[in-house]
Amino acid sequence: MLKKSLLFVLLIALSLTAIVQLGGGAKIAAKAWLSQYLIEQAWSRTLLGEERVRPWPWADTWPVAELSVPSLGVQ
C-alpha cells in the first residue's frame, strides 16, 4: 500500500514538472512570435514617417533598417 502511494505521488510530481517545463518552452516560442510581429508593426509605422517607434513600451530600441538577402530569397 505504501509503495503504491509513493509511486502515485512520484507520478504526480513528474507530471507537474513536465507540464511546467513544456509551459516554459511554449512561453519562449510565444514571446519570439509576438516580438517579431511587434517589430514588423513598428517598422511599418517607421516607413509611414514616425520616428523612433518602439515595438513595445519598455523596449530600449526601435527598427532602423530592414535586412534582405535576395540571393537566398530572404526578405
Q: Is residue 38 within 8 Å of 61, Cβ to Cβ?
A: no
The pLDDT averaged over each successive group of 10 residues in the chain (75 residues) is: 88 95 94 95 95 94 91 86
pLDDT at 73: 86
On the CB side of 33, CA atoms within 13 Å amount to 6
pLDDT at 6: 92
pLDDT at 74: 84
From CA 36, how far away is CA 34, in angstroms rounded?
A: 5
The DSSP annotation for 10-23 comes to: HHHHHHHHHHHHHH
pLDDT at 4: 87
In which domain, by residue range, is 61 found? 2-72
On the CB side of 23, CA atoms within 13 Å amount to 6
From CA 69, how far away is CA 46, in angstroms rounded?
A: 21
Domain count, the chain: 1
